[in-house]
Amino acid sequence: MEPIQTAIRVVPLEHYVILASALFCIGILGVLFRRNTIIILMCIELMLNSVTLLLAAFSAYHSDPAGQVFVFFIMVVAAAEVAVGLAILVMMKRNIDSIDINLLNRLKW
Amino acid sequence: MQFMFYLLALVALLSAAMVVFSRSPISSVIHLVVCFLAIAGHYILLNAQFLAVVQIIVYTGAIMVLFLFVIMLLNLNTTNEPHKSMLTKVSALIAGGLLFLVLLASFRGANDIVAAHPYDAKIGLVKSLGMVLFREYLLPFEISSVLFISAMVGAVLLGKRDTVKKS
């Protein structure tokens, strides 16, 4: 078992940046690509997770615990956001009997 | 170590792509769970043990189960969802790919970002994170509880059936 100082930081930080931006772009692609509201909510979760992964990576590479505390706060906000978003989705299904995002375009222009 | 990183990255990217492209919402949720578990593995590789546990409990345990409940209770697991037009799909692919390219290009010119700080193995543990959370970030922590209360009230209010007749 190698000591932890050498076990960590062997992956260059740029690779974490590339991975997080790829995950973020997949999330954006999903938001633009699908019409199902629940998939769009899941893609927003994916984007939040890519950002938290990047924050945790920077925090570990800089030895600064503040980044991980912010990841914790982002998780708190994400949980609240999902609760309200799913409640809106339930209401949408009840009122217009569909979860198609293209039907909700009255605020568009 | 490095092999684990690339394996987990591959799993995360593939399952994230499957979230977008799979047909039924249930399989999207399952793939998102796999993606979040891979991200929890990344946290363990970064020695952020508290974050890994919170990720598994909160995300894959609570949030994704909430998604599954909503899909099953509203009977949303239909595969014949109306799709966007081909033009919109192609432009979405182009937009996502271009954004990725722009991000990559902007990070390419960045300076070497690894700082010279000595490595501190304890920052991801529960004890040190708790110290930081309850000393420096006590006010945001309390405010987040207010946020939770308001989100709970909002969710209950939105989910309640309308009893007042619309005039």
Within chain A, where are the H helices? 4-7, 13-33, 37-62, 66-96
Contacts of B110 (CB under 8 A, 6+ apart): none
Report how far residue A38's alpha carbon sits from residue B22's, in angstroms, rounded to the nearest whole number. Answer: 13
Closest residue of chain A to B128, computed from CA coordinates: A65
In this predicted model, which residue has the larger pLDDT, A8 or B160?
A: B160
Q: Which residue has the tokens 């037009």?
A: B85
Residues of A in contact with B151 (CB under 8 A): 79-81, 83-84
A108 located within any domain: no
A102 within 8 A of A35, measured Cβ to Cβ: yes
Q: Where does the pLDDT of residue B149 fall: very low under 50, low under 70, confident under 90, or very high at 90 and above?
A: very high
Report how far residue B120's alpha carbon sits from residue B107's, in angstroms, rounded to the nearest whole number. Answer: 26
Q: Where does the pLDDT of residue B116 fall: very low under 50, low under 70, confident under 90, or very high at 90 and above?
A: low
A109 located within any domain: no
In this predicted model, which residue has the larger pLDDT, B43 or B1?
A: B43
- Report the percent of chain B where pLDDT is more than 70: 89
Q: Where does the pLDDT of residue A8 fall: very low under 50, low under 70, confident under 90, or very high at 90 and above?
A: low
A21 located within any domain: yes
Q: Which CATH number is A38's domain given?
A: 1.10.287.3510
Q: Residues B52-85: pLDDT tens digits?
A: 999 999 888 889 999 999 988 888 777 666 777 8
Instruction: Give the residue among B20, B39, B140 at the shortest CA–CA distance from B81.
Output: B20
A26 located within any domain: yes
Mean pLDDT over A29-53 rounds to 92
A107 located within any domain: no
A13 located within any domain: yes
For the ranges A56-60, A97-101, B147-151, which has the lowest average pLDDT? A97-101
Give the pLDDT of residue A98. Answer: 80
CB contact under 8 A, A35 and B96: no
pLDDT at B167 over 60: no
Give the pLDDT of residue B126. Answer: 85
- Report the percent of chain A where pLDDT is more than 90: 47
CB contact under 8 A, A33 and B84: yes
Report how far residue A65's alpha carbon sits from residue A58's, in angstroms, rounded to the nearest whole number. Answer: 10
Task: Name the minimum distance, in Å, from the CA of B167 to any CA of chain A.
Answer: 16
Residues of A in contact with B106 (CB under 8 A): none
Mean pLDDT over A26-32 rounds to 93
A104 located within any domain: no
Q: Where does the pLDDT of residue A1 fall: very low under 50, low under 70, confident under 90, or very high at 90 and above?
A: very low
Residues of B in contact with A19 (CB under 8 A): 9, 12-13
Closest residue of chain A to B117, computed from CA coordinates: A62
Give the pLDDT of residue A5. Answer: 54
Residues of B in contact with A71 (CB under 8 A): 48, 51
CA dihedral A9, A15, A18, A21 (to 10 degrees): -30
pLDDT at B123 over 70: yes
Q: Which structural domain, as residue segments, surrounds residue A80?
A: 4-98
For the ranges A1-10, A51-60, B115-124, which has the lowest average pLDDT? A1-10
Give the pLDDT of residue A43. Answer: 94
Mean pLDDT over A20-40 rounds to 91
Task: Name the minimum distance, in Å, from the CA of B120 to any CA of chain A.
Answer: 6
CB contact under 8 A, B81 and A36: yes
Q: How many domains does chain A have?
A: 1
pLDDT at A47 over 80: yes
pLDDT at A73 over 50: yes
Mean pLDDT over A72-86 rounds to 92
